[in-house]
Copies of this chain bind each other. A is one copy, B any other.
Amino acid sequence: MNTIGSELRLTLFGASHGPCVGAVLDGVPPGMAIDIGRVQNEVDLRRPSPGIGTPRAEVDKVEVVSGVMEGRSTGAPITLMVVNRDTDSSKYERFKNVPRPGHADLTARSKYSECTDLRGGGQFSGRMTVALVAAGAIAKMLLEERGVRVSAYTRQIGKVVDEEERSASEAVLSRSNEVRAATPELADRMRQEILDASKDGDSVGGVVECIVDGLPMGLGEPFFDTVEGELAKMMFSVPGVKGVEFGSGFRAASMRGSQHNDPFVLVDGKVRTAKNDAGGILGGITNGMPVVFRVAIKPTASIAKGQRSLDLESGQQTELKIEGRHDPCIAPRAVPAVEAGAALILADLIIRGGVID
């Protein structure tokens, strides 16, 4: 379904080539200052960059149609809408019969009948994340009022891997380059990796890391509603995500306990850990250290290169070349979506935990 969250509850609607995409965000504490310019800024960060992004030229202007009065939340659901303008659906008719490898064409048709909207990926499109990012901007405001900062950056594009341990402050710096790398030098190399793939009519995958600092100890509602579980569920909604790991993640498999356990230490009178292989979470509950997680993103499924597919009517193998407008790498544009998703989940856990009344 298209609703997530317990006490801060997000409902998404719309489709890539429908009239609009939008979000209803319910449970925002009343009286909060809602800076719509800030919402617009976050959405703008998600827009494609010249050269490495799709030429689809959406303006992505966010409108608030409910829940805000005189710049403040009223306590009623906040509804945000973005009109779709630059939709060119002519190319999508064919995919009903010849499903694009790596896309939801076939599964959507199987689940939702022939009436499913495949234009531009319909409700499976990365375009849904416009609404996610807009709603996430409001969650960020809520978190920032409480000293919590959510920052993501691109950790890997193809073979280019950022090997350093980064802080939230370094992650924020990624906002200054289009691939969202932590340093200008990495940005150059990642940009080249994308251009190389693009030149080959191909695409490339990546990894986004998200760091959340300023969280209080005690968030999370185990056994099932763990911080990891809630964040992971949200992340796997972001189109293209193949894996989610916290702290040491898959590296933990080859570690010894004596290496992995984070020793407790006292820092400025507060209990902290000397390192953070736990990723800020113990027993599904935040421990006061930064929450750190990484998200693996597959290479864009739409590529210009010819691919094998099947004509569903004739049952014949066929070659498919996808001509639409696509990003050769979606990882940089996933960065704001990862931040938004994390902000929404953590704000919900804060409200559920009774930290906000």
A interface with B by C-beta (< 8 Å): 1-4, 6-7, 9, 11-15, 18-22, 24, 26-27, 30-31, 65-67, 69-70, 72-77, 79, 81, 99, 101-104, 106-108, 110-117, 122-124, 128, 156-159, 197, 200, 202-207, 217-218, 220-226, 228-230, 232-237, 239, 241-266, 271, 273-274, 277-279, 282-287, 294, 296-303, 305, 307-310, 312, 315, 317, 331, 351-357
Contacts and interface: CB of A to CB of B under 8 A. Distances in A.
B256 A299 contact: yes
Contacts of A6: 6-7
Contact of A258 (B70, B305, B356): B305
A220 B111 CA distance: 9
Given A99-B271, A250-B296, 6 more contacts: A1-B7, A14-B76, A107-B218, A157-B253, A243-B243, A260-B299
Given A123-B222, A223-B2, A255-B298, A20 B243 contact: no
Given A203-B257, A232-B232, A299 B108 contact: no
A264 B106 contact: yes
A13 B77 contact: yes
B242 A13 contact: no
Contact of A236 (B15, B76, B229, B273): B229
A263 B310 CA distance: 8
A257 B117 CA distance: 24
A285 B107 contact: yes
B11 A102 contact: no
B285 A254 contact: no
Contact of A15 (B76, B256, B353): B76
